[in-house]
Structure 1
């Protein structure tokens, strides 16, 4: 952060808060390194189990650090055996030894409906957690894999992988030279474990609990442990864990039932045997234990379990529970956790035990449609708000669909994020639910929710390059939009899909989609639809100027037409963005007069809108909108500063660049921080202040080092060499 005593505070003015003569007194505090990544699944450490496996992982971690080598441990076993729980417990036992960070990814969250893994997306996510911020549009798996290995070389890192399905995934997610430890929980059916062992990996097959471990888990519950000092109760405990199939989750449920109900172990065993004899169809002891536990929950707990059994995934947040139970939700969740029907999930959220989910789903739930509707509404509302937190006042499809119930929060609604960064992380983590939510919407007779969801998750699908899942989402949304015969939705979804194909490097597949969007825009009487189309055409024309099938107009003409539509429709953000693009294009082509005119206009639009926001009553959404405008204005000002410098107005350029830099620091934009600092260094060098120029470069170099900005670091080195001569 900047030195509060000396750094300029630009606030939300037009750049006149400081004078050029004061620039020499400004300086930046040394940039702090970002904290090491601490991604790790939550573990319930009060339950001790898997003694041998966990001890082995601890020993392996010690060897890794002692000999400074990398190691790979593979957990295998059938579904529900406890691989994820063991992964979490192992992580917490060794976490403190890897001070340079821990990384975690559940690969199941990154697969599309056909089970195809978005490997490029996973690699980008891991690199982002490692504070690598110069990935831009890179989607090549081989290049991203090499980058991961380069960044992690010689680092003390712990990498946790859940849901590994094949060799390709393991190979791509290999880290650089040690010391590091990779622990991977493998899906059933991974046939190459032997080959990995022959290459040096350690294999830890997980079976049902050893009786000793099952009894230890029972004994870890205080009251149950006291009862087991009685020989008869101990014998009953041996029978109980056998009935539970030595499955960790079921043993926990049985122990929790004994703890809460304060009944004897022998009583519970007798109740299980009695139910088995009375069952219409053969039931396992594990199923009966679950049924007994479920029969003892209260009405609030039962309703919440019914809601969660309808949820498209096992993980959920407390905010979702509040949609059904309001302020009672936290207490209800705690009671379910005490009964071991829930456990803590991967990001501080909760997870419904899979066997419980299956039993509740199999039962009668007269509220199933109501629950599905509540879940759908929670996610459409929350994704819509996340979109607003990230991109402020961008033109959205929600304004054209009858979606009030799907976008307006209920009175007791609580968003699971409060800042722009938190909204990005939430939407990224929840994106894998979207295909199931779209299916749920169609089953509920809410087809408009499908294009609405697609529109809301665009910032993550495109901005974070979630391309594999994004293709599925926008194909489905376009299909539904055609069925709805909603021209605006067709234009929007066809354009999104076209841009996804361009990002995939398949521009030729974008052309028929753009043509479809054009036909839909012509049918519509709303010019805003045409603005969306013109933006896509402008991007395509700028990137592929000779691609057959594009209009003859230049990209600048297409952007200008889109800008005029935004202006006439009263959409200031669209007008500002398009004006900025026009100005920046003119700057790059050397037309400084046009660049100055357009960028100045864009800055005035941003200044005016920010003044309006400041004068209004502050709300959560107005803060999000203002944040987006400040970031946009900072980008405009940096471009305008470059134009001013080339026009011989160095002092004015420095004022603009300083104000932009402060925003980039506050909003954690390291690439822009380095670009701006290098520009300011060049201004200092041109006026002969070599010492201050070198100070700027050192600051930029530190930021580039913290965030692995390799290209920028190379430019900084060349700048140093030039300034020192």
Structure 2
């Protein structure tokens, strides 16, 4: 049984060149009806966001205000916005989590989406297209149906999210446009930040201000955590921690791990830390400061670095210094590595790669001490992150480490990521043309326990999960002058950018790759980088920007030896010519690319460029010429096992045959494309094949085939998460 439901007869139209037999319209309709679609994702609303803590005190006013606003806005057909502000670590996210987990989820049956913008902020700017891509996938949209541009993703998000009331929670918003872009079409957006955003308030957003805990609430919280604490001592701890929940939690967690101590010991250590000299005095804080070279004299630097605001920041620093000073040596080493490593999350694999020992124990102690949290995901390996306040503290500690030590750690991290990304690229895109040599270390050496990834799907997920960290590593490598690794990483990341359409990222990192190639005097690498940037700009519709990159690349072609580099430039220029409706120019450019690949020879490149030539000929209404080129491309693809190209070739062949008026053969070619795309899981190509078949059937006045194609197309799009807003269809 093949993917079209036949019992062996489907082979009669798998090839439609020459004297192939064409099936009748009724049989074709039956086979289209029998196309097996991939299983749909579970039709369950997303439930994202941090879970609510079991211990939560006070916040009665703030919680009531958030709940009242949510109830009022949920009844409004227009979407609403609530802005929750407060200093870092004061409990904004947990306040929202309490309301979502206990009261709000019933008001928003469409589910809850969550993102922390701090994880996606680069040079102060958030990649909103990446945020919306994640939201679309969480709402059940298949990756093949997530567009590349911000405008297209915004439009699709508004369409998909219009099915029912949705709650969107966004942490660490700094600017009003970041929030506006993520407002659901109906439902509620709750954003947290450290300051009020006047333009949002002018738009009607409800403001919830979260202050540090007062002494009574803080004392209640401490006594819930530590039942034996007397009220006066607990109140003293609250005053020392400035009512900051993060500091209080860290202090009591530190005490819980040392049952031989009392809350009075915590007070004594925090008092020594706050009022001691920081140069080896009696307090734990003082000892830690002396060991790291960070004393009271650096307090101003610590606050300005972002660990807190005013006295609250000092209280958090004091507690964190005390907690870190008392953890095990190997745990303290891992904590300091958090401060050195670029990016926002780390994995056990990365920590081992940079020389950490007893990694699992250290991570466990950091989690139990409330210094780190495990970021869990059903489809990605466990990774760990620090709260942004704790991360700032760790990075300030790291500044006290010797510069060479920090460079050594960065270099080990860079080498790990460069080798892992190269292996992932090879699994995702196979034997594509690459400038860099294969990595020296096998994939098995990059993971002491378990594999980083096994197979294409896992490799792509690893790249996507590490995307922010990879960008940070590239920036760090560029700052250190490790230019060779910069452009190599950028080349490997094409596998991610091309597959997941992170096009803005492709342009940003590609420009760093261009600079790195120039520093290394590698014109071949510069051509490669400029072409990648041009392809991303082309897919975003910026044809002039793509042209500018290609013009600079063309000037370098005389300095490179491999003709395939010329080929990739001609190919991208040909695509731009097609987009500008210049089929003759496109045909000439694709012809140059074809000649370059034949000169190597590169069989896959020959097939791709022959397919492109066929596209240009069809666009120029040269139907018969296109068929000859496409037949040759199909023969080469079958001979070399390049099966993924066959559905693409059949789609163009179907258009050429339709142009010649050979509708039966055109239908058979489009059917072969649908058959092949379904078998290979090429869902976007299956969509195109079914849409083309429906159009051809309408032209041929074949109502059963048209109806079968349209029904299968609706079913495919439902399966891919593109349900109509009213749930019908």
Q: TM-score, normalised by structure 2?
A: 0.79
Q: Check whether the contact 2:671–2:693 (CA below 8 A) recurs between aligned residues.
A: no
Distance in 2 separating the partners of 1:138 and 1:271: 54
Q: Are 1:277 and 2:295 matched, yes or no?
A: no
1:287 positional shift: 2.6
Q: Which residue of 2 aligns with 1:310?
A: 340
Q: How does 1:265-414 map to 2 (within 5 A)?
A: 265-275=263-273, 276-280=275-279, 281-282=295-296, 284-324=314-354, 328-345=358-375, 349-353=383-387, 354-355=389-390, 356-358=393-395, 360-364=397-401, 367-399=405-437, 404=440, 410=446, 412=448
Secondary structure of the residue aligned to 1:100 is coil
Q: How does 1:89-488 map to 2 (within 5 A)?
A: 89-93=98-102, 94-95=104-105, 98-113=108-123, 115-123=124-132, 125-127=134-136, 129-130=138-139, 131=141, 136=147, 138-140=149-151, 145=154, 148-153=157-162, 155-176=164-185, 178=186, 180-188=187-195, 190-192=197-199, 194-196=201-203, 199=204, 201-219=205-223, 221=225, 224-225=226-227, 227-228=228-229, 231=230, 234-262=231-259, 263-275=261-273, 276-280=275-279, 281-282=295-296, 284-324=314-354, 328-345=358-375, 349-353=383-387, 354-355=389-390, 356-358=393-395, 360-364=397-401, 367-399=405-437, 404=440, 410=446, 412=448, 417-418=453-454, 420=456, 423-424=459-460, 426-428=462-464, 430-461=466-497, 464-488=500-524
Q: Check whether the contact 1:326–1:412 (CA below 8 A) recurs between aligned residues.
A: no
Q: List per-residue Cα deviations over 1:337-383 (Å, max 9, x = no partner).
A: 01111013475632124334145324436742232122222332333
Q: Mean Cα displacement is larger for which, 409-418 or 294-303?
A: 409-418
Q: Check whether the contact 1:159–1:181 (CA below 8 A) recurs between aligned residues.
A: yes
Distance in 2 separating the partners of 1:193 and 1:604: 60
1:521 positional shift: 1.8
Distance in 2 separating the partners of 1:147 and 1:475: 29
Q: Check whether the contact 1:631–1:663 (CA below 8 A) recurs between aligned residues.
A: no
Distance in 2 separating the partners of 1:137 and 1:443: 29
Distance in 1 separating the partners of 2:598 and 2:443: 26
Q: List per-residue Cα deviations over 1:516-545 (Å, max 9, x = no partner).
A: 322322012222222222222222333346
Secondary structure of the residue aligned to 1:164 is coil
Q: List per-residue Cα deviations over 1:555-609 (Å, max 9, x = no partner).
A: 2232232233334434333232222222233334443433333333333444344
Q: Mean Cα displacement is larger for which, 507-516 or 308-317?
A: 507-516
Q: Check whether the contact 2:617–2:625 (CA below 8 A) recurs between aligned residues.
A: yes
1:312 positional shift: 1.8
Q: Are 1:657 and 2:673 matched, yes or no?
A: yes
Q: Identify if the C-alpha distance between structure 1 residues 54 and 391 changes in structure 2 by more than 3 Å, giving closer, same or farther.
A: farther
Secondary structure of the residue aligned to 1:78 is coil
Distance in 2 separating the partners of 1:542 and 1:571: 24
Q: Mean Cα displacement is larger for which, 562-571 or 58-67?
A: 58-67
Q: TM-score, normalised by structure 1?
A: 0.79
Q: Identify if the C-alpha distance between structure 1 residues 642 and 595 changes in structure 2 by more than 3 Å, giving closer, same or farther.
A: same
Q: Which residue of 1 aligns with 2:689?
A: 676
Distance in 2 separating the partners of 1:638 and 1:306: 55
Q: Check whether the contact 1:635–1:660 (CA below 8 A) recurs between aligned residues.
A: no
Q: Identify if the C-alpha distance between structure 1 residues 10 and 630 changes in structure 2 by more than 3 Å, giving closer, same or farther.
A: farther
Q: Which residue of 1 aligns with 2:534?
A: 498
Q: Check whether the contact 2:504–2:536 (CA below 8 A) recurs between aligned residues.
A: no
1:74 positional shift: 0.8
Q: How does 1:536-575 map to 2 (within 5 A)?
A: 536-544=572-580, 554-575=585-606
Secondary structure of the residue aligned to 2:125 is coil
Q: List per-residue Cα deviations over 1:190-219 (Å, max 9, x = no partner).
A: 3435424xx2x2211122233344345435
Q: Identify if the C-alpha distance between structure 1 residues 650 and 544 changes in structure 2 by more than 3 Å, giving closer, same or farther.
A: closer
Distance in 1 separating the partners of 2:638 and 2:58: 61
Q: Identify if the C-alpha distance between structure 1 residues 451 and 644 changes in structure 2 by more than 3 Å, giving closer, same or farther.
A: same
Q: Identify if the C-alpha distance between structure 1 residues 260 and 350 changes in structure 2 by more than 3 Å, giving closer, same or farther.
A: same
Q: Identify if the C-alpha distance between structure 1 residues 78 and 4 changes in structure 2 by more than 3 Å, giving closer, same or farther.
A: same
1:464 positional shift: 4.9
Q: Mean Cα displacement is larger for which, 341-350 or 128-137?
A: 128-137
Distance in 2 separating the partners of 1:702 and 1:434: 37
Distance in 2 separating the partners of 1:7 and 1:69: 53
Distance in 2 separating the partners of 1:344 and 1:411: 19
Q: Check whether the contact 2:84–2:190 (CA below 8 A) recurs between aligned residues.
A: yes
Q: List per-residue Cα deviations over 1:132-155 (Å, max 9, x = no partner).
A: 866655454xx7645544443351
Q: Check whether the contact 1:386–1:424 (CA below 8 A) recurs between aligned residues.
A: yes
Q: Mean Cα displacement is larger for which, 340-349 or 639-648?
A: 639-648
Q: Are 1:48 and 2:28 matched, yes or no?
A: no
Q: Check whether the contact 2:57–2:221 (CA below 8 A) recurs between aligned residues.
A: yes
Secondary structure of the residue aligned to 1:364 is coil
Q: Check whether the contact 2:353–2:412 (CA below 8 A) recurs between aligned residues.
A: yes
Distance in 2 separating the partners of 1:37 and 1:261: 42
Q: List per-residue Cα deviations over 1:238-277 (Å, max 9, x = no partner).
A: 2122222222222221121111111211122123223443
Distance in 2 separating the partners of 1:299 and 1:635: 58
1:183 positional shift: 0.8
User: What RMSD in Å do the two structures reach over aligned CA positions?
Assistant: 4.2
Secondary structure of the residue aligned to 1:99 is coil
Distance in 2 separating the partners of 1:540 and 1:436: 31
Unaligned 5+ segments in structure 1 are: 547-551, 611-628, 718-725
Unaligned 5+ segments in structure 2 are: 280-294, 300-313
Secondary structure of the residue aligned to 1:203 is strand
Distance in 2 separating the partners of 1:417 and 1:9: 39
Q: Identify if the C-alpha distance between structure 1 residues 530 and 506 changes in structure 2 by more than 3 Å, giving closer, same or farther.
A: same
Q: Check whether the contact 1:323–1:413 (CA below 8 A) recurs between aligned residues.
A: no
Q: Check whether the contact 2:49–2:112 (CA below 8 A) recurs between aligned residues.
A: no
Distance in 1 separating the partners of 2:109 and 2:348: 31
Q: List per-residue Cα deviations over 1:488-521 (Å, max 9, x = no partner).
A: 1111122233344445555444445323322322
Q: Check whether the contact 1:495–1:513 (CA below 8 A) recurs between aligned residues.
A: yes
